Chains A and B, each alone.
Chain A
Amino acid sequence: MTEEKQKQPGVLYWLNQTWLSIRVPLAAIILALLVGAVILILSGVNPLDAYRALFVGAFGETRYLLRTLEKATPLIFSGLAVAFGFKAGLFNIGAQGQLLLGAMTAAVIGFMVTGLPPLIHIPLALLGGALTGALYGFIPGALKTYTGAHEVITTIMLNYVAINITDYLADGPFKDPEPANIVARTARIQDSAVIPTPQIDLTVGVLLALLLMIVFSVLVFAIFKKVTLGIKNKLLLFLIRLGLVVGLGIGLAQLLRVFAPRFYAQPVGFLPYNAIPFPIGFMIAILMAVVVWFILMRTTLGFEIRTVGLNPHAARYAGIKVKMIIILAMVISGFLAGMGGSIETLAVVGRYQPGFNTGLGFDGITVALLGRNHPLGLIPAALLIGAMQAGSNVMQFQAGVPSEIIGVIQALMLFFVAADMIVRWVIRAKARPGEVKIDLTSGWGKQ
């Protein structure tokens, strides 16, 4: 950021900055959708029908929107886990395994512990799951530092071990004792452990959101004013972007509702949502993303982690305990993944059942990469992937398009986001001096 720019950081300036930073990813997403449309046309489907159904399925109704947020929540966590590893130069493919064990632990604490109020039970189960994930992340970290076993291999292997452990637990000691049950799954968690999703009237919801935003901003300004000047601008920027994303989503849904009303079951009121769900799990995910961002960017530990990720040798010369940092990074990464699994159990599934969490950890890699490995940047990425996953069901049902097409579109998005030179060439946008290329492979096998 140049000095000249810092003189007048008004809203317009931030809007412009936001536009400059999102135009390339936005163009990349549009390009990916266009290429996806070509594939759809080739297989004899009208891409407009497919995309409309996809969009409606993701945002069109309250329950669809809720499902989008539900799908995005664990993705934020696994994305954070992967991104945190990347920052330390570690490729944690093991987020999947850590997530599974976290989900299992949360389920066990959820149904075995009784008589606790929700305010204690939920955090207990969340923390239990997260700590299990952390412990499971500790193994590859320790193996890497003490024996040199590469984390890519050990975490992949540990994923399979985790699948087997959870399958065993769900089919053995913790199997649902209900007589009617024949499948491998745990008992339902106690009501006191369920993370609720209160329905809030739209007006109240908007007011509440605004209030929260104001309180949050005030808090942030109050806390960080003394620490540093740059941070509040960044948070303001983040809030503006968040608002833009939400506004854009609602606006698009509105347009769609006017022009394609046949996709709506109950077209009532002006806005598409009469009552909006307030998914607490999603809020926790956003909070964790902010916490991770703060740890990485504003603390000594974060600085050390990033230094180790960029150049372990330099870090060692600078007196950083590289081994400890590597283990710690894996532990925190596992903690985040485990928490994602816990929230999935406590807020969505309600028990542990094998096969219900498949792929969440691997999607975390996509989310982290799409979000350019930035803790806050991966929130929109997770929302995007979550929306596509949620919408793909409706698309399959309404337009008869196999839901796997979203995998192709995701891959194309990832490609175009990474290959920004192609996108820049298409939209004739020059690279800004501040923008750095993402580089993750520097940590591969080197230490």
Chain B
Amino acid sequence: MNLITQLRLKKLLVPLILASLGLVAVIVSYSMNPQVTQAVLASTLRQSTPILLGAMCGILCEKSGIINIGIEGQMLLSAFMGFMVNVWTGNLLVAVLAGMATGALLGLLHAFMSVTLKLDQIIGGTVINILALGLTGFFYTAGLTTKGKLQPFSLGFLAEIPLIGPVLFRNPPITFAAIVLVFVLQFALFKTTWGLRTRAVGEHPRAADTLGVNVFTTRYINVIMGGAIAGLAGAFLTLEAVGSFERAMTNGRGFVALAVMIFGKWSPLGAWGASLLFGFANALQTQIQFAGVLQIPHQFIGMLPYVLTIIVLAGFVGRARPPAAGGVPYEKE
């Protein structure tokens, strides 16, 4: 028991150090310049939302043993469908649901390819990526804009707290949904029967099967749910962040989401931390460029998020251990 506690503490050490360092930095920065700090933090959260949602899609898939590199494509096509449905109906809720449905459908396709057809999952993901890029480019019509965007709203008195209030408790709905989803998924994956079954299927499908867990169904459900979450990320891009659709507008976020998933060691909370770090680097970069305080070519500031991810990944996280059965199609005996 003592050993387990020790191990747990050791596991928490790096995230705790990182988090407390971040906290100190935020407090110091806030005491010096409240407005900029608040702007950067709010921007951090906004930048991290689609990546976080994408990473949670990845976690859902990978925990059940399906590698999904098609998150980029799922996000892109969902962003497009959400956008088009909004243009047609003028309804934001229907549009978001359409985006999620699109993501779920692509999840179904991925599950069909990797579970039923037993295709190589990297190929399956690549198919989804190119397909989405092609379809959205083909049906893209320039000059359309959404009828309204999802607006931020406050969570009562919580939004009155200085700094934390406006940053955390006054946000548009999908940003809120993403944060809620982190905790729901963390609980569901590690504390419920469903979570145990999912992890079992991802680690040792044969054992899970022997115990009566349906490997195929579990994988199907997880990949479809993951797709819906990626769809939410897509809807975020068009309906909450930008308000219009552009070709290839996901701009690699789906791949960054994969990075964030591995970085967060396949746990929703970890992925949240990782996506916040990435979002922060992005926000900082925008802020530095905007303020123009440093005489550095903007391209070097633009590298910041990516270099930071590499350094943190190489320096702090080390060898990540994916679910053992990831990428291996399950053959029933």
Contact = CB atoms under 8 A, between A and B. Distances in A.
Nearest to A152: B258
B272 interface: no
Nearest to A154: B310
Contacts of A43: 138-139
Contact of B326 (A153, A154, A171, A445): A445
Contacts of A446: 322
Contact of A153 (B126, B139, B297, B313): B313
B135 A408 contact: yes
A291 interface: no
A447 B327 CA distance: 14
Contacts of A150: 259, 262, 313, 320
B324 to A, nearest CB: 9
A168 interface: yes
Interface stretch (B4-12, B20-28, B116-124): B116-124
Interface string A149-169: 110111011111100110110
B127 A411 contact: yes
Contact of A441 (B121, B302, B310, B319): B121
B168 interface: no
Scoring B119, B121, B258 by chain A CB atoms within 10 A of each residue's CB, the highest score goes to: B119
Given A418-B124, A419-B113, A446-B322, A143 B130 contact: no
A64 interface: no
Contact of A411 (B130, B255, B305): B130
B302 A421 contact: no
B131 interface: yes
Interface string B83-106: 000000000000000000000000
A49 interface: no
Contact of B122 (A156, A410, A441): A441
Interface in A354-386: 365-366, 369
B322 to A, nearest CB: 4
Interface in A394-417: 402, 404-412, 414-415
Given A164-B299, A168-B300, A445-B326, A147 B315 contact: yes
B127 A418 contact: yes
B133 interface: yes
A41 to B, nearest CB: 13
A369 B320 contact: no
B174 to A, nearest CB: 24
Interface string A429-447: 0000000011111101111
Contact of B259 (A153, A406, A408): A153
B309 interface: yes
Contacts of B122: 91, 369, 440-441, 444
B161 interface: no
Contacts of B120: 418, 437-441
B313 A154 contact: yes
B18 interface: no
Nearest to A173: B297
A93 interface: yes
A148 interface: yes
Nearest to A363: B130
A323 to B, nearest CB: 13
Contacts of B306: 157-158, 160-161
Contact of B302 (A39, A164, A418, A422): A164
A402 B135 CA distance: 10
Interface residues of A, number: 53
Contacts of A421: 117
A441 B67 CA distance: 8
Contact of B113 (A164, A402, A412, A415): A415
Nearest to B266: A445
A176 B28 CA distance: 44
A407 B134 contact: yes
Contacts of B297: 168, 171-172
A78 B303 CA distance: 23
B169 interface: no
B307 interface: yes
Interface string A222-242: 000000000000000000000
A150 B266 CA distance: 13
B259 A157 contact: yes
Given A410-B130, A418-B124, A445 B322 contact: yes
A168 B134 contact: no
Contacts of A445: 262, 320-322, 326
Interface in B312-333: 313-315, 317-322, 326-328
Contact of A149 (B252, B307, B313): B313
Contact of B137 (A143, A160, A171, A404): A404
B187 to A, nearest CB: 25
Given A164-B299, A366-B130, A412-B131, 7 more contacts: A43-B138, A150-B313, A160-B306, A165-B299, A407-B130, A407-B137, A410-B130
Interface of A: 39, 43, 91, 93, 143, 147-150, 152-154, 156-161, 164-165, 167-168, 171-172, 365-366, 369, 402, 404-412, 414-415, 418-419, 421-422, 437-442, 444-447
Which 10 interchain pairs have the tightest Cβ spacing?
A407-B134, A404-B137, A148-B319, A441-B327, A408-B134, A411-B131, A153-B259, A168-B299, A445-B322, A411-B130
Interface of B: 67, 69, 113, 117, 119-124, 126-131, 133-140, 247, 252, 255-256, 258-259, 262-263, 297, 299-300, 302-303, 305-307, 309-310, 313-315, 317-322, 326-328
